[in-house]
Amino acid sequence: MTDRIVVKIGSSSLTSEEGGLNRERIQYFASELASLHQSGCRVILVTSGAVAAGFRLIGYSTKPKIVHEKQAAAAVGQALLMQAYQEAFHGYGIVAAQILLTRADFSNRRRIQNALMTIEELLRLGIIPIINENDTVATDELVPKFGDNDSLSALVAAMTKAAKLVIITDMDGLYTEDPRKNPQAIKIERVDQISEDIMKVAGGAGSSVGTGGMRSKIEAARIAMRGGVHAFIGKVQQEGDLKLAVDGIGSGTYFDTKLDSLSMKKQWLGFHSIPQGSITVDDGAVIALLNGGKSLLPAGVTEIEGDFHPSDVVEVKNQQGETLGRGVVNYAAWQIQAVAGLTTEEVKRRVEVSRIEVIHRDEWITL
């Protein structure tokens, strides 16, 4: 077995409700991951827990809410977290490596390519990369934080072309309702498309030391599936549970996809780029983009929003305001405003652009 497996473990699984690391749980997860590693899988761990591990030690009575306090807690807690993992994996003869990422790293194509090369080399050497958000520098001011690390794990899984993403939670999968409130709730065993109905049943906040609820995990599964990665959301508590989850018989919900993995260019465009505006299109353009494999022409544009320029990334929406996908635009906003709804010949007479397509199909990804 040589499959790449990304495993995401949240704060609530690694720490106590009062804060501080639960060494027994870290030892358990290290055992499960080591077993997977020794079976031939190339394992990548995405972990939370730095803030929860550090806030008590530096004198905070509860998990901090203010940014600089959380960053201070993370600065202490990240070292404690990695030390605990290193010690736990050492007993199995496994070396662990730390990689700290932010959304800004993913939005920069060169930086994320360098991160991928580092991960590839670590996997080649038989080392387990341990990835976390760099909480000591990440903020929401310019680029949103990952926060719960669920979406981070999905982006890592897509980037590394993993076979499966395993998101560990305290629930044994997705239910039609919260089973803690309604014993009649029905468990959803498999999902092959994340519909609005699926999103509606996913809700609720995380624990006092974690930040992610089921909704953020479903969003992560959506990203993974779009990137050609199968996902699992569920419990891993007993010996052998992680292997069962990877083998398709774990205690949780499986998210299956028939899509192929995406190139780094398409991943950057779909998941990491920062849209500078939006374009609304008519029903004919929706069909052409989603089903016909066509480019977007000015004739299909009905409305624009934002002040973007050629080579910027924009979102494309239908008449109901739903996002269809993203693309690299060949026009400035004012140029599209001037030619929206016009034929190709009329466009050529009004504006001068490098190519007639508003978004070429090679610079487009459906979301």
pLDDT in tens, 98-139: 999 988 888 888 899 999 999 999 999 999 999 999 877 765
> Is the same domain home to 142 and 214?
yes
Position 204 pLDDT exceeds 60: no
Band of pLDDT at residue 76, cut at 50, 70 and 90: very high
Spell out the residues 6+ positions from residue 39 whose beta carbon is closer than 8 angstroms to its own.
1, 243
> Is the same domain home to 242 and 222?
yes
pLDDT in tens, 51-73: 989 999 998 988 888 888 989 99
Q: What is the pLDDT of residue 208?
A: 43
Beta bridge partners of 80: none
Q: What is the pLDDT of residue 141?
A: 46
Domain that holds residue 338: 275-366
pLDDT in tens, 142-180: 445 665 799 999 999 999 999 999 999 988 999 988 888
> Is the same domain home to 18 and 73?
yes
Share the mean pLDDT of the chain.
Answer: 91
Q: What is the pLDDT of residue 252?
A: 96
Mean pLDDT calculated for residue range 315-338: 96
Quote the radius of gyration of the chain (alpha carbons, Å).
Answer: 22
Please give the backbone phi and psi of residue 150, each rounded to the nearest 5 degrees, phi first. -65, -50
- What are the tokens at 15? 């720490």
Whether residue 116 is contained in a domain is answered as yes
- Where a domain ends, among 239, 265, 291? 265
- Where a domain ends, among 240, 265, 290? 265
Q: Rounded to whole angstroms, how far apart are CA atoms 263 and 295?
A: 19
> Is the same domain home to 223 and 159?
yes
> Is the same domain home to 219 and 288?
no
Alpha helices (H) in 93-195, listed in sequence order: 103-107, 109-124, 150-159
Question: By the 8 A CB rule, do 49 and 81 touch?
Answer: yes
Q: What is the pLDDT of residue 178?
A: 82
CATH no. for residue 339? 2.30.130.10
pTM: predicted TM-score of the whole model, two decimal places? 0.86
Q: Rounded to whole angstroms, how far apart are CA atoms 80 and 40?
A: 28
Please give the backbone phi and psi of residue 221, each rounded to the nearest 5 degrees, phi first. -60, -35
Whether residue 214 is contained in a domain is answered as yes
- What are the tokens at 228? 């050609």
Ranking 166-170, 220-224, 229-233, 272-276 by mean pLDDT, the lowest is 272-276
Whether residue 304 is contained in a domain is answered as yes
Band of pLDDT at residue 212, cut at 50, 70 and 90: very low
Whether residue 336 is contained in a domain is answered as yes
> Is the same domain home to 217 and 336?
no
> Is the same domain home to 338 and 208?
no
Whether residue 270 is contained in a domain is answered as no
> Is the same domain home to 319 and 360?
yes
pLDDT in tens, 257-310: 999 999 888 998 998 888 999 999 999 999 999 998 999 999 999 999 999 999
> Is the same domain home to 91 and 215?
yes
- Where a domain ends, among 265, 300, 324? 265
> Is the same domain home to 55 and 133?
yes
Angle, helix 67-90 to helix 23-38, in steps of 10 degrees:
50
* Total residue count of the chain as it appears in this document: 367
Whether residue 151 is contained in a domain is answered as yes
Residue type for position 134: N
Mean pLDDT calculated for residue range 181-188: 90
Position 224 pLDDT exceeds 70: yes
Position 311 pLDDT exceeds 90: yes
CATH no. for residue 131? 3.40.1160.10
> Is the same domain home to 289 and 326?
yes
Count of domains forming the chain: 2
Spell out the residues 6+ positions from residue 136 whose beta carbon is closer than 8 angstroms to its own.
71, 74, 75, 78
Angle at 102 between CA 174 and CA 2, to 5 degrees: 60
Whether residue 142 is contained in a domain is answered as yes
Q: What is the pLDDT of residue 160?
A: 96
> Is the same domain home to 181 and 310?
no
- Which of 294, 299, 293 lies closest to 281, judged by CA? 299
